[in-house]
Chain A
Protein backbone atom coordinates (compact mmCIF):
# COMPACT_ATOMS: atom_id res chain seq x y z
CA UNK A 1 0.00 0.00 0.00
CA UNK A 2 2.71 2.43 0.99
CA UNK A 3 4.65 1.45 -2.08
CA UNK A 4 1.66 2.15 -4.33
CA UNK A 5 1.12 5.53 -2.72
CA UNK A 6 4.75 6.32 -3.43
CA UNK A 7 4.25 5.53 -7.12
CA UNK A 8 1.22 7.78 -7.35
CA UNK A 9 3.10 10.60 -5.70
CA UNK A 10 6.04 10.00 -8.01
CA UNK A 11 3.78 10.09 -10.99
CA UNK A 12 2.23 13.37 -9.92
CA UNK A 13 5.72 14.76 -9.53
CA UNK A 14 6.65 13.55 -13.01
CA UNK A 15 3.48 15.06 -14.42
CA UNK A 16 4.30 18.46 -13.01
CA UNK A 17 7.85 18.19 -14.27
CA UNK A 18 6.77 17.39 -17.85
CA UNK A 19 4.15 20.15 -17.95
CA UNK A 20 6.66 22.62 -16.53
CA UNK A 21 9.24 21.63 -19.15
CA UNK A 22 6.66 22.05 -21.92
CA UNK A 23 5.80 25.54 -20.72
CA UNK A 24 9.51 26.34 -20.54
CA UNK A 25 10.11 25.30 -24.17
CA UNK A 26 7.13 27.32 -25.39
CA UNK A 27 8.16 30.34 -23.37
CA UNK A 28 11.77 30.29 -24.54
CA UNK A 29 11.28 29.29 -28.16
CA UNK A 30 8.02 30.99 -29.13
CA UNK A 31 6.63 33.44 -26.59
CA UNK A 32 9.81 35.29 -25.61
CA UNK A 33 10.94 36.01 -29.20
CA UNK A 34 7.44 37.10 -30.20
CA UNK A 35 7.12 39.36 -27.18
CA UNK A 36 10.55 40.85 -27.76
CA UNK A 37 9.62 41.72 -31.33
CA UNK A 38 6.29 43.29 -30.34
CA UNK A 39 8.03 45.44 -27.71
CA UNK A 40 10.76 46.28 -30.21
CA UNK A 41 8.18 47.69 -32.59
CA UNK A 42 7.14 50.18 -29.91
CA UNK A 43 10.76 51.11 -29.17
CA UNK A 44 10.26 54.63 -30.42
CA UNK A 45 6.67 54.89 -29.27
CA UNK A 46 3.51 54.67 -31.32
CA UNK A 47 4.83 57.48 -33.52
CA UNK A 48 7.90 55.45 -34.50
CA UNK A 49 5.73 52.47 -35.32
CA UNK A 50 3.28 54.36 -37.52
CA UNK A 51 5.95 56.37 -39.30
CA UNK A 52 7.84 53.13 -40.08
CA UNK A 53 4.73 51.50 -41.48
CA UNK A 54 3.65 54.63 -43.37
CA UNK A 55 6.99 54.99 -45.15
CA UNK A 56 6.26 54.97 -48.92
CA UNK A 57 8.49 51.93 -49.43
CA UNK A 58 6.77 50.05 -46.59
CA UNK A 59 3.32 50.79 -47.98
CA UNK A 60 4.46 49.73 -51.44
CA UNK A 61 5.99 46.53 -50.06
CA UNK A 62 2.83 45.64 -48.15
CA UNK A 63 0.74 46.33 -51.27
CA UNK A 64 3.07 44.11 -53.32
CA UNK A 65 2.70 41.31 -50.77
CA UNK A 66 -1.07 41.76 -50.85
CA UNK A 67 -1.21 41.43 -54.64
CA UNK A 68 1.01 38.34 -54.58
CA UNK A 69 -1.06 36.69 -51.85
CA UNK A 70 -4.26 37.38 -53.78
CA UNK A 71 -3.01 36.12 -57.16
CA UNK A 72 -1.23 33.09 -55.77
CA UNK A 73 -4.09 32.01 -53.51
CA UNK A 74 -6.57 32.22 -56.37
CA UNK A 75 -4.45 30.25 -58.84
CA UNK A 76 -3.15 27.71 -56.34
CA UNK A 77 -6.63 26.96 -54.99
CA UNK A 78 -8.01 26.39 -58.47
CA UNK A 79 -5.17 24.26 -59.81
CA UNK A 80 -4.50 22.48 -56.52
CA UNK A 81 -8.12 21.37 -56.22
CA UNK A 82 -8.23 20.13 -59.81
CA UNK A 83 -4.90 18.34 -59.42
CA UNK A 84 -6.17 16.59 -56.29
CA UNK A 85 -9.38 15.56 -58.09
CA UNK A 86 -7.44 14.17 -61.04
CA UNK A 87 -4.93 12.34 -58.86
CA UNK A 88 -7.66 10.64 -56.84
CA UNK A 89 -10.50 10.27 -59.36
CA UNK A 90 -8.90 10.55 -62.78
CA UNK A 91 -9.63 7.22 -64.44
CA UNK A 92 -7.99 8.46 -67.65
CA UNK A 93 -4.54 8.08 -66.11
CA UNK A 94 -3.01 4.72 -65.40
CA UNK A 95 -2.37 3.81 -61.79
CA UNK A 96 1.40 3.98 -62.13
CA UNK A 97 1.32 7.46 -63.71
CA UNK A 98 -0.85 8.65 -60.84
CA UNK A 99 1.58 7.24 -58.32
CA UNK A 100 4.48 8.90 -60.11
CA UNK A 101 2.77 12.31 -60.28
CA UNK A 102 1.69 11.93 -56.67
CA UNK A 103 5.28 11.54 -55.54
CA UNK A 104 6.35 14.61 -57.56
CA UNK A 105 3.71 16.86 -55.95
CA UNK A 106 5.75 16.95 -52.73
CA UNK A 107 9.02 17.99 -54.37
CA UNK A 108 8.59 21.74 -53.73
CA UNK A 109 8.58 20.91 -50.00
CA UNK A 110 12.10 19.55 -50.28
CA UNK A 111 13.44 22.35 -52.47
CA UNK A 112 15.12 25.24 -50.68
CA UNK A 113 13.24 28.45 -51.54
CA UNK A 114 16.49 29.95 -52.80
CA UNK A 115 16.84 27.07 -55.26
CA UNK A 116 13.21 27.60 -56.26
CA UNK A 117 14.07 31.18 -57.10
CA UNK A 118 17.25 30.16 -58.91
CA UNK A 119 15.27 27.72 -61.07
CA UNK A 120 13.00 30.49 -62.25
CA UNK A 121 15.91 32.83 -62.97
CA UNK A 122 17.57 30.04 -64.98
CA UNK A 123 14.41 29.20 -66.93
CA UNK A 124 12.90 32.64 -67.46
CA UNK A 125 15.72 35.07 -66.74
CA UNK A 126 17.21 37.44 -69.32
CA UNK A 127 19.82 34.84 -70.23
CA UNK A 128 17.32 32.13 -71.13
CA UNK A 129 15.53 31.60 -74.46
CA UNK A 130 12.04 32.16 -73.04
CA UNK A 131 13.12 35.17 -71.01
CA UNK A 132 14.89 36.77 -73.98
CA UNK A 133 11.80 36.26 -76.12
CA UNK A 134 9.47 37.88 -73.59
CA UNK A 135 11.89 40.74 -73.06
CA UNK A 136 11.85 41.43 -76.81
CA UNK A 137 8.06 41.59 -76.70
CA UNK A 138 8.41 44.05 -73.83
CA UNK A 139 7.21 41.76 -71.05
CA UNK A 140 9.49 41.28 -68.09
CA UNK A 141 9.13 38.13 -65.99
CA UNK A 142 12.15 37.92 -63.71
CA UNK A 143 12.80 40.96 -61.49
CA UNK A 144 9.11 41.80 -61.91
CA UNK A 145 5.69 40.80 -60.59
CA UNK A 146 5.08 37.73 -62.84
CA UNK A 147 8.30 36.04 -61.73
CA UNK A 148 7.49 36.65 -58.08
CA UNK A 149 4.06 35.10 -58.53
CA UNK A 150 5.55 32.09 -60.31
CA UNK A 151 8.12 31.62 -57.53
CA UNK A 152 5.41 31.74 -54.86
CA UNK A 153 3.17 29.40 -56.87
CA UNK A 154 6.00 26.88 -57.01
CA UNK A 155 6.56 27.02 -53.26
CA UNK A 156 2.85 26.74 -52.37
CA UNK A 157 1.91 24.08 -54.92
CA UNK A 158 1.72 21.03 -52.61
CA UNK A 159 -0.31 22.74 -49.87
CA UNK A 160 -3.77 22.58 -51.47
CA UNK A 161 -3.24 19.21 -53.16
CA UNK A 162 -2.16 17.60 -49.91
CA UNK A 163 -5.14 18.96 -47.97
CA UNK A 164 -7.82 17.93 -50.47
CA UNK A 165 -6.47 14.52 -51.53
CA UNK A 166 -6.96 12.62 -48.25
CA UNK A 167 -10.56 13.84 -47.93
CA UNK A 168 -11.37 12.73 -51.46
CA UNK A 169 -9.82 9.34 -50.75
CA UNK A 170 -11.76 9.03 -47.53
CA UNK A 171 -15.22 9.83 -48.90
CA UNK A 172 -14.80 7.44 -51.83
CA UNK A 173 -16.35 7.72 -55.26
CA UNK A 174 -19.70 5.99 -54.63
CA UNK A 175 -21.79 9.12 -54.02
CA UNK A 176 -20.35 10.83 -57.06
CA UNK A 177 -20.94 7.76 -59.18
CA UNK A 178 -24.50 7.52 -57.94
CA UNK A 179 -25.08 11.13 -58.85
CA UNK A 180 -23.57 10.54 -62.27
CA UNK A 181 -25.78 7.54 -63.05
CA UNK A 182 -28.80 9.53 -61.97
CA UNK A 183 -27.94 11.88 -64.79
CA UNK A 184 -26.10 14.65 -63.02
CA UNK A 185 -22.57 14.96 -64.26
CA UNK A 186 -19.76 17.43 -64.42
CA UNK A 187 -20.37 20.65 -62.57
CA UNK A 188 -23.60 19.54 -60.93
CA UNK A 189 -21.98 16.49 -59.39
CA UNK A 190 -19.05 18.56 -58.26
CA UNK A 191 -21.10 21.32 -56.61
CA UNK A 192 -23.77 19.12 -55.10
CA UNK A 193 -21.77 16.08 -54.04
CA UNK A 194 -18.01 16.66 -54.00
CA UNK A 195 -17.77 20.28 -52.87
CA UNK A 196 -19.73 19.96 -49.60
CA UNK A 197 -17.38 17.25 -48.38
CA UNK A 198 -14.11 18.88 -49.38
CA UNK A 199 -14.90 22.51 -48.60
CA UNK A 200 -13.29 22.64 -45.15
CA UNK A 201 -10.18 20.98 -46.46
CA UNK A 202 -10.13 23.64 -49.19
CA UNK A 203 -10.56 26.40 -46.59
CA UNK A 204 -7.66 24.94 -44.63
CA UNK A 205 -5.57 24.75 -47.79
CA UNK A 206 -6.40 28.38 -48.56
CA UNK A 207 -5.25 29.44 -45.09
CA UNK A 208 -1.98 27.53 -45.50
CA UNK A 209 -1.46 29.05 -48.95
CA UNK A 210 -2.10 32.57 -47.67
CA UNK A 211 0.33 32.01 -44.78
CA UNK A 212 3.05 30.65 -47.03
CA UNK A 213 2.69 33.29 -49.74
CA UNK A 214 2.55 36.07 -47.15
CA UNK A 215 5.77 34.84 -45.59
CA UNK A 216 7.67 33.65 -48.67
CA UNK A 217 11.11 35.14 -48.60
CA UNK A 218 13.95 33.17 -50.18
CA UNK A 219 12.38 32.45 -53.58
CA UNK A 220 10.96 35.96 -53.89
CA UNK A 221 14.26 37.57 -52.83
CA UNK A 222 16.15 35.79 -55.62
CA UNK A 223 13.53 36.37 -58.31
CA UNK A 224 12.58 39.95 -57.43
CA UNK A 225 16.03 41.45 -57.07
CA UNK A 226 14.55 43.31 -54.06
CA UNK A 227 14.18 46.67 -55.81
CA UNK A 228 12.73 49.27 -53.45
CA UNK A 229 9.34 50.68 -54.44
CA UNK A 230 9.22 48.24 -57.34
CA UNK A 231 9.56 44.58 -56.49
CA UNK A 232 10.14 44.75 -52.76
CA UNK A 233 7.73 42.71 -50.63
CA UNK A 234 7.08 43.01 -46.90
CA UNK A 235 9.46 40.17 -45.99
CA UNK A 236 12.28 41.38 -48.23
CA UNK A 237 11.83 44.88 -46.78
CA UNK A 238 12.29 43.42 -43.29
CA UNK A 239 15.49 41.79 -44.51
CA UNK A 240 16.77 45.04 -45.99
CA UNK A 241 15.89 47.00 -42.84
CA UNK A 242 17.84 44.52 -40.71
CA UNK A 243 20.81 44.69 -43.06
CA UNK A 244 20.72 48.49 -42.70
CA UNK A 245 20.54 48.21 -38.89
CA UNK A 246 17.13 49.88 -39.05
CA UNK A 247 15.76 47.64 -36.31
CA UNK A 248 12.66 49.61 -35.29
CA UNK A 249 11.44 49.76 -38.89
CA UNK A 250 12.08 46.04 -39.33
CA UNK A 251 10.12 45.37 -36.14
CA UNK A 252 7.21 47.52 -37.25
CA UNK A 253 6.78 45.78 -40.60
CA UNK A 254 7.29 42.43 -38.84
CA UNK A 255 4.57 43.33 -36.38
CA UNK A 256 2.11 43.85 -39.24
CA UNK A 257 3.10 40.47 -40.67
CA UNK A 258 2.88 38.81 -37.24
CA UNK A 259 -0.62 40.19 -36.66
CA UNK A 260 -1.69 38.60 -39.95
CA UNK A 261 0.06 35.37 -38.98
CA UNK A 262 -1.76 35.18 -35.64
CA UNK A 263 -5.05 35.85 -37.46
CA UNK A 264 -4.24 33.00 -39.83
CA UNK A 265 -3.39 30.77 -36.89
CA UNK A 266 -6.82 31.40 -35.36
CA UNK A 267 -8.50 30.73 -38.72
CA UNK A 268 -6.48 27.51 -38.97
CA UNK A 269 -7.79 26.35 -35.59
CA UNK A 270 -11.33 27.17 -36.63
CA UNK A 271 -11.02 25.39 -39.99
CA UNK A 272 -9.38 22.39 -38.37
CA UNK A 273 -12.37 21.89 -36.08
CA UNK A 274 -14.75 22.11 -39.03
CA UNK A 275 -12.57 19.82 -41.12
CA UNK A 276 -12.84 17.09 -38.52
CA UNK A 277 -16.64 17.26 -38.62
CA UNK A 278 -16.94 17.57 -42.42
Chain B
Protein backbone atom coordinates (compact mmCIF):
# COMPACT_ATOMS: atom_id res chain seq x y z
CA UNK B 1 0.00 0.00 0.00
CA UNK B 2 2.77 2.32 0.97
CA UNK B 3 4.57 1.66 -2.32
CA UNK B 4 1.46 2.40 -4.37
CA UNK B 5 0.82 5.63 -2.49
CA UNK B 6 4.37 6.74 -3.02
CA UNK B 7 4.15 5.83 -6.69
CA UNK B 8 0.98 7.88 -7.10
CA UNK B 9 2.54 10.82 -5.31
CA UNK B 10 5.46 10.74 -7.72
CA UNK B 11 3.20 10.51 -10.75
CA UNK B 12 1.10 13.43 -9.58
CA UNK B 13 4.19 15.45 -8.79
CA UNK B 14 5.71 14.84 -12.22
CA UNK B 15 2.50 15.71 -14.02
CA UNK B 16 1.99 18.98 -12.21
CA UNK B 17 5.67 19.95 -12.57
CA UNK B 18 5.65 19.43 -16.33
CA UNK B 19 2.33 21.20 -16.79
CA UNK B 20 3.41 24.09 -14.56
CA UNK B 21 6.65 24.39 -16.51
CA UNK B 22 4.71 24.52 -19.76
CA UNK B 23 2.26 27.14 -18.50
CA UNK B 24 4.95 29.33 -16.93
CA UNK B 25 7.41 29.09 -19.81
CA UNK B 26 5.16 29.28 -22.86
CA UNK B 27 1.57 30.28 -22.11
CA UNK B 28 1.97 32.94 -19.43
CA UNK B 29 4.65 35.04 -21.19
CA UNK B 30 2.60 35.07 -24.40
CA UNK B 31 -0.49 36.24 -22.55
CA UNK B 32 1.76 38.75 -20.79
CA UNK B 33 2.64 40.53 -24.05
CA UNK B 34 -1.01 40.86 -25.03
CA UNK B 35 -1.88 41.97 -21.50
CA UNK B 36 0.92 44.53 -21.46
CA UNK B 37 -0.08 46.16 -24.73
CA UNK B 38 -3.76 46.36 -23.76
CA UNK B 39 -3.09 47.43 -20.16
CA UNK B 40 -2.31 50.99 -21.16
CA UNK B 41 -5.65 51.25 -22.86
CA UNK B 42 -6.88 50.69 -26.37
CA UNK B 43 -6.18 54.29 -27.30
CA UNK B 44 -2.47 54.06 -26.53
CA UNK B 45 -2.23 50.78 -28.46
CA UNK B 46 -3.72 52.45 -31.54
CA UNK B 47 -1.36 55.36 -31.06
CA UNK B 48 1.67 53.07 -30.95
CA UNK B 49 0.54 51.25 -34.05
CA UNK B 50 -0.35 54.35 -36.04
CA UNK B 51 3.23 55.54 -35.80
CA UNK B 52 4.29 55.26 -39.45
CA UNK B 53 7.68 53.80 -38.54
CA UNK B 54 5.89 51.02 -36.66
CA UNK B 55 3.30 49.97 -39.22
CA UNK B 56 5.66 50.45 -42.12
CA UNK B 57 8.13 48.06 -40.50
CA UNK B 58 5.44 45.39 -40.22
CA UNK B 59 4.32 45.97 -43.79
CA UNK B 60 7.90 45.78 -45.06
CA UNK B 61 8.50 42.56 -43.12
CA UNK B 62 5.38 41.06 -44.63
CA UNK B 63 6.37 42.11 -48.14
CA UNK B 64 9.96 40.83 -47.95
CA UNK B 65 8.90 37.60 -46.20
CA UNK B 66 6.40 36.85 -48.98
CA UNK B 67 9.07 37.57 -51.59
CA UNK B 68 11.67 35.31 -49.96
CA UNK B 69 9.07 32.57 -49.44
CA UNK B 70 8.23 32.59 -53.15
CA UNK B 71 11.93 32.26 -54.00
CA UNK B 72 12.26 29.42 -51.54
CA UNK B 73 9.22 27.57 -52.84
CA UNK B 74 10.54 27.62 -56.43
CA UNK B 75 14.20 26.93 -55.61
CA UNK B 76 13.41 24.48 -52.78
CA UNK B 77 11.03 22.44 -54.92
CA UNK B 78 13.64 22.20 -57.65
CA UNK B 79 16.37 21.11 -55.23
CA UNK B 80 14.08 18.65 -53.45
CA UNK B 81 13.23 17.16 -56.83
CA UNK B 82 16.86 16.92 -57.98
CA UNK B 83 18.02 15.41 -54.68
CA UNK B 84 15.36 12.68 -54.82
CA UNK B 85 15.22 11.88 -58.52
CA UNK B 86 18.74 12.11 -59.90
CA UNK B 87 21.91 10.21 -59.07
CA UNK B 88 25.03 12.33 -59.36
CA UNK B 89 28.40 12.77 -57.67
CA UNK B 90 28.23 14.79 -54.47
CA UNK B 91 24.52 14.14 -53.93
CA UNK B 92 24.88 12.85 -50.35
CA UNK B 93 27.09 15.81 -49.50
CA UNK B 94 24.58 18.34 -50.82
CA UNK B 95 21.77 16.54 -49.03
CA UNK B 96 23.55 16.94 -45.67
CA UNK B 97 24.46 20.52 -46.48
CA UNK B 98 20.76 21.45 -46.78
CA UNK B 99 20.43 21.62 -42.97
CA UNK B 100 23.41 23.95 -42.55
CA UNK B 101 21.25 27.08 -42.02
CA UNK B 102 19.49 25.27 -39.15
CA UNK B 103 22.75 24.27 -37.51
CA UNK B 104 24.53 27.58 -37.99
CA UNK B 105 23.83 30.47 -35.58
CA UNK B 106 21.78 33.06 -37.45
CA UNK B 107 24.16 35.85 -36.46
CA UNK B 108 26.96 33.90 -38.15
CA UNK B 109 24.74 33.52 -41.21
CA UNK B 110 24.22 37.26 -41.30
CA UNK B 111 27.94 37.89 -40.95
CA UNK B 112 28.69 35.51 -43.82
CA UNK B 113 26.28 37.33 -46.13
CA UNK B 114 27.70 40.67 -45.03
CA UNK B 115 31.22 39.49 -45.86
CA UNK B 116 30.30 38.02 -49.22
CA UNK B 117 28.22 40.92 -50.48
CA UNK B 118 29.52 43.81 -48.39
CA UNK B 119 31.06 47.03 -49.70
CA UNK B 120 34.64 45.71 -49.69
CA UNK B 121 33.87 42.39 -51.36
CA UNK B 122 34.15 41.37 -55.00
CA UNK B 123 30.42 40.94 -55.57
CA UNK B 124 29.55 44.02 -53.55
CA UNK B 125 31.83 46.34 -55.47
CA UNK B 126 30.83 44.81 -58.81
CA UNK B 127 27.17 45.40 -58.02
CA UNK B 128 27.92 48.90 -56.84
CA UNK B 129 29.66 49.81 -60.09
CA UNK B 130 26.54 48.59 -61.90
CA UNK B 131 24.45 50.89 -59.74
CA UNK B 132 23.04 48.09 -57.58
CA UNK B 133 23.15 48.23 -53.83
CA UNK B 134 22.79 44.98 -51.96
CA UNK B 135 24.00 45.15 -48.39
CA UNK B 136 22.09 47.56 -46.11
CA UNK B 137 19.30 47.54 -48.68
CA UNK B 138 16.29 45.34 -49.31
CA UNK B 139 18.02 42.68 -51.47
CA UNK B 140 20.29 41.79 -48.53
CA UNK B 141 17.27 41.31 -46.25
CA UNK B 142 15.67 38.96 -48.77
CA UNK B 143 18.94 37.02 -49.17
CA UNK B 144 19.24 36.69 -45.38
CA UNK B 145 15.64 35.45 -45.13
CA UNK B 146 16.13 32.97 -47.98
CA UNK B 147 19.33 31.68 -46.35
CA UNK B 148 17.74 31.13 -42.95
CA UNK B 149 14.60 29.43 -44.28
CA UNK B 150 16.35 27.44 -47.02
CA UNK B 151 15.77 23.91 -45.62
CA UNK B 152 12.01 24.13 -44.99
CA UNK B 153 10.57 23.58 -48.48
CA UNK B 154 13.23 21.02 -49.46
CA UNK B 155 12.62 18.93 -46.36
CA UNK B 156 8.85 19.12 -46.85
CA UNK B 157 8.93 18.12 -50.53
CA UNK B 158 11.48 15.28 -50.33
CA UNK B 159 9.39 12.68 -48.44
CA UNK B 160 6.43 13.26 -50.76
CA UNK B 161 8.56 12.60 -53.83
CA UNK B 162 10.06 9.50 -52.26
CA UNK B 163 6.55 8.16 -51.67
CA UNK B 164 5.41 8.86 -55.21
CA UNK B 165 5.35 5.60 -57.14
CA UNK B 166 7.44 5.72 -60.33
CA UNK B 167 4.76 3.51 -61.89
CA UNK B 168 2.28 6.39 -61.85
CA UNK B 169 4.68 8.47 -63.87
CA UNK B 170 5.45 5.59 -66.23
CA UNK B 171 1.77 4.93 -66.74
CA UNK B 172 1.24 8.54 -67.73
CA UNK B 173 4.19 8.32 -70.11
CA UNK B 174 3.07 5.09 -71.78
CA UNK B 175 -0.33 6.65 -72.27
CA UNK B 176 1.50 9.20 -74.38
CA UNK B 177 1.79 12.16 -72.02
CA UNK B 178 4.73 14.43 -72.75
CA UNK B 179 7.42 15.34 -70.21
CA UNK B 180 6.01 18.70 -69.13
CA UNK B 181 2.50 17.24 -69.09
CA UNK B 182 3.57 14.44 -66.73
CA UNK B 183 5.25 17.01 -64.54
CA UNK B 184 2.23 19.27 -64.24
CA UNK B 185 -0.41 16.53 -64.03
CA UNK B 186 1.32 13.90 -61.85
CA UNK B 187 4.43 15.19 -60.12
CA UNK B 188 3.48 18.74 -59.21
CA UNK B 189 0.15 17.83 -57.56
CA UNK B 190 1.90 15.30 -55.35
CA UNK B 191 4.50 17.87 -54.27
CA UNK B 192 1.95 20.62 -53.66
CA UNK B 193 1.12 19.84 -49.98
CA UNK B 194 4.84 19.94 -49.16
CA UNK B 195 5.32 23.16 -51.09
CA UNK B 196 2.46 24.78 -49.20
CA UNK B 197 3.33 23.61 -45.68
CA UNK B 198 7.07 24.08 -46.18
CA UNK B 199 6.44 27.49 -47.70
CA UNK B 200 4.29 28.58 -44.79
CA UNK B 201 6.89 27.42 -42.26
CA UNK B 202 9.50 29.38 -44.19
CA UNK B 203 7.20 32.39 -44.25
CA UNK B 204 6.58 32.42 -40.50
CA UNK B 205 10.29 31.96 -39.84
CA UNK B 206 11.17 34.78 -42.26
CA UNK B 207 8.68 37.08 -40.52
CA UNK B 208 10.32 36.35 -37.18
CA UNK B 209 13.97 36.43 -38.28
CA UNK B 210 16.24 38.82 -36.46
CA UNK B 211 19.86 37.69 -36.16
CA UNK B 212 20.71 37.34 -39.83
CA UNK B 213 18.78 40.43 -40.87
CA UNK B 214 19.97 42.87 -38.21
CA UNK B 215 23.55 42.59 -39.47
CA UNK B 216 22.83 43.13 -43.17
CA UNK B 217 19.89 45.56 -43.10
CA UNK B 218 20.52 49.28 -43.04
CA UNK B 219 17.66 49.73 -40.56
CA UNK B 220 16.41 52.91 -42.21
CA UNK B 221 12.81 53.49 -41.05
CA UNK B 222 10.26 52.75 -43.75
CA UNK B 223 12.81 51.30 -46.15
CA UNK B 224 15.02 48.69 -44.51
CA UNK B 225 13.74 48.55 -40.93
CA UNK B 226 11.90 45.27 -40.40
CA UNK B 227 9.55 44.58 -37.50
CA UNK B 228 11.81 42.47 -35.29
CA UNK B 229 14.63 45.02 -35.54
CA UNK B 230 12.14 47.79 -34.78
CA UNK B 231 10.99 45.92 -31.66
CA UNK B 232 14.60 45.50 -30.56
CA UNK B 233 15.19 49.23 -30.98
CA UNK B 234 12.10 50.07 -28.93
CA UNK B 235 13.20 47.70 -26.14
CA UNK B 236 16.66 49.28 -26.16
CA UNK B 237 15.17 52.77 -25.83
CA UNK B 238 12.93 51.56 -22.98
CA UNK B 239 9.69 52.00 -24.89
CA UNK B 240 8.23 48.60 -23.99
CA UNK B 241 4.69 49.76 -24.80
CA UNK B 242 5.63 50.49 -28.41
CA UNK B 243 7.57 47.22 -28.61
CA UNK B 244 4.64 45.24 -27.22
CA UNK B 245 2.16 46.87 -29.63
CA UNK B 246 4.15 45.87 -32.72
CA UNK B 247 4.84 42.49 -31.12
CA UNK B 248 1.17 41.59 -30.83
CA UNK B 249 0.59 42.61 -34.43
CA UNK B 250 3.46 40.37 -35.56
CA UNK B 251 2.47 37.57 -33.16
CA UNK B 252 -1.13 37.54 -34.31
CA UNK B 253 0.02 37.33 -37.93
CA UNK B 254 2.44 34.48 -37.16
CA UNK B 255 -0.12 32.55 -35.11
CA UNK B 256 -2.58 32.79 -37.98
CA UNK B 257 0.03 31.31 -40.30
CA UNK B 258 0.84 28.55 -37.79
CA UNK B 259 -2.82 27.74 -37.40
CA UNK B 260 -3.14 27.55 -41.20
CA UNK B 261 -0.17 25.15 -41.36
CA UNK B 262 -1.80 22.90 -38.76
CA UNK B 263 -5.04 23.08 -40.67
CA UNK B 264 -3.37 22.14 -43.97
CA UNK B 265 -1.46 19.29 -42.34
CA UNK B 266 -4.45 17.91 -40.44
CA UNK B 267 -6.53 17.70 -43.60
CA UNK B 268 -6.61 13.98 -44.21
CA UNK B 269 -4.61 13.24 -41.09
CA UNK B 270 -5.95 13.17 -37.55
CA UNK B 271 -3.93 13.40 -34.37
- A111 CB to nearest B CB, Å: 6
Residues of B within 8 A of A221 (CB): 232
Residue of B nearest to A269 (CB): B96
User: How big is chain A's contact interface, by range?
Assistant: 35 or more
Contact A264 B258 (CB under 8 A): no
Q: Mark each residue of chain B from 135 to 152: 1 if its CB lies under 8 Å from any CB of chain A, else 0.
A: 000000000001100100
Contact B29 A36 (CB under 8 A): no
- B263 CB to nearest A CB, Å: 10
Residues of A within 8 A of B19 (CB): 86
Flag the segment in B44-52, B125-133, B191-199, B243-251 that touches A: B243-251
Residue of B nearest to A117 (CB): B235
CB within 8 Å for A33 and B106 given contacts A26-B97, A121-B240: no
Q: Mark each residue of chain A from 99 to 129: 1 if its CB lies under 8 Å from any CB of chain B, else 0.
A: 1011111111111111111111111000100
**Considering the chains assembled together, what is the distance between the CA atoms of A23 and B95 in angstroms?**
11
Contact A37 B15 (CB under 8 A): no
A94 at the interface (CB under 8 A from B): no
Q: Mark each residue of chain B from 166 to 194: 1 if its CB lies under 8 Å from any CB of chain A, else 0.
A: 00000000000001000000000000000
**Considering the chains assembled together, what is the distance between the CA atoms of A123 and B24 in angstroms?**
10
Choose one: B114, B115, B247; the contact of A118 (CB below 8 Å): B247
- A125 CB to nearest B CB, Å: 8
B134 at the interface (CB under 8 A from A): no
Q: Mark each residue of chain B from 96 to 116: 1 if its CB lies under 8 Å from any CB of chain A, else 0.
A: 110111111111110111111
Contact B7 A186 (CB under 8 A): yes
Residues of B within 8 A of A92 (CB): 15
A148 at the interface (CB under 8 A from B): no
- A41 CB to nearest B CB, Å: 10
Contact B111 A238 (CB under 8 A): yes
Contact B25 A154 (CB under 8 A): yes
Contact B115 A111 (CB under 8 A): no
Contact B210 A218 (CB under 8 A): yes
Contact B250 A268 (CB under 8 A): no
**Considering the chains assembled together, what is the distance between the CA atoms of A208 and B111 in angstroms?**
22
CB within 8 Å for A30 and B207 given contacts A115-B250, A115-B251, A268-B103: no
- A76 CB to nearest B CB, Å: 10
Flag the segment in A48-56, A170-178, A193-201, A255-263 that touches B: A255-263
Contact B29 A235 (CB under 8 A): no
Residues of A within 8 A of B116 (CB): 32-33, 36
**Considering the chains assembled together, what is the distance between the CA atoms of A10 and B178 in angstroms?**
12
Q: Which A residues are within 8 Å of any B CB, using their own CB? A: 7, 10-11, 14-15, 18-19, 21-23, 25-26, 29-34, 36-37, 40, 79, 82-83, 86, 90, 92, 98-99, 101-123, 127, 150, 153-154, 157, 185-186, 208, 211, 214-218, 221-222, 234-236, 238-239, 242, 247, 250-251, 254, 257-258, 261-262, 264-266, 268-269
22 residue pairs from A and B, CB less than 8 Å apart: A21-B78, A23-B90, A36-B112, A79-B18, A79-B21, A82-B14, A101-B22, A110-B257, A111-B251, A112-B254, A121-B235, A122-B36, A127-B240, A235-B105, A235-B107, A236-B107, A238-B108, A251-B115, A254-B108, A254-B111, A262-B100, A265-B103
Q: Which B residues are within 8 Å of any A CB, using their own CB? A: 7, 10-11, 14-15, 18-19, 21-22, 25-30, 32-33, 36, 75, 78-79, 81-83, 86, 88, 90, 94, 96-97, 99-109, 111-116, 121, 146-147, 150, 179, 201, 204-205, 207-211, 214-215, 227-229, 231-232, 235, 240, 243-244, 247, 250-251, 254-255, 257-259, 262, 271
The 7 closest A-B pairs by CB, nearest first: A215-B105, A33-B112, A112-B208, A119-B29, A218-B210, A110-B254, A217-B211
Extra A-B contacts (14), CB below 8 Å, given A18-B81, A79-B22, A119-B30: A23-B94, A40-B115, A104-B26, A107-B258, A113-B210, A120-B29, A123-B32, A153-B25, A186-B11, A215-B211, A218-B211, A238-B108, A261-B104, A265-B100
